[in-house]
A and B are shown apart, each in its own frame.
Chain A
């Protein structure tokens, strides 16, 4: 199975900060990497698919990059509604594994 490791597990940031979350795969997954945002009590929401493609309707302050084993999710200017948990997920081969999540909290 492909293991996905996110870092950090949590972070504190202020509104307006630039935030970067990293995700590392245990083997190459090409660009089969997606990012989701989840708020408490809600379903996950797709942000980025295929490593760098912004899902329709998602603000442009979100961006993704990387290929192979190393990926990043960047929020260019953190907004109040961005405080949530973020998950990476590989869809290169089943089982489709998620990272453990990164909780973004208010500083």
Chain B
């Protein structure tokens, strides 16, 4: 079964750091690009970051650029999001999602999400 499982969320103070992980199984992780998408409480979906299979191409939303770092370890079938200088507006459920390109990009598999709360 194709599966993505996020972890690492929690309560952190403004200005703090957190590292999210996404464990992939049931497919060849090293062949797929990946996204992080978040959803603030009661709000819509916001794309956060993209990483290609080889890690050679990375994109960020302007709202997180310079503060968040996406990475992956293909040997461990794992995706990461290092979040620094966290703000209250980063409070959200964070989802990892598999990206297919056929040739149009779309997210066909999503994890259940991990909750990040930034508050003092």
Residues of A within 8 A of B (CB): 1, 31-32, 34, 36, 38, 42-46, 49-50, 55, 87, 89, 91, 94-101
Contact = CB atoms under 8 A, between A and B. Distances in A.
What band does the interface of chain B fall in when counting residues whose beta carbon is under 8 Å from A? 20 to 34
Nearest to A49: B106
B50 interface: yes
Contacts of B100: 49
Contacts of B106: 34, 46, 49-50, 91
Given A43-B95, A43-B112, A45-B110, A96 B104 contact: no
B8 to A, nearest CB: 17
Nearest to A1: B62
B47 A46 contact: no
Interface of B: 35, 37, 44-47, 50, 59, 61-62, 95, 100, 102, 104-108, 110-113
A87 B44 contact: yes
B104 A98 contact: no
A97 B45 CA distance: 9
A91 to B, nearest CB: 4
B47 A101 contact: no
Contacts of A95: 47, 59, 61-62
15 contacts: A1-B62, A34-B104, A38-B45, A42-B112, A43-B95, A44-B45, A49-B106, A49-B108, A87-B44, A89-B107, A91-B105, A91-B106, A96-B35, A97-B47, A101-B44
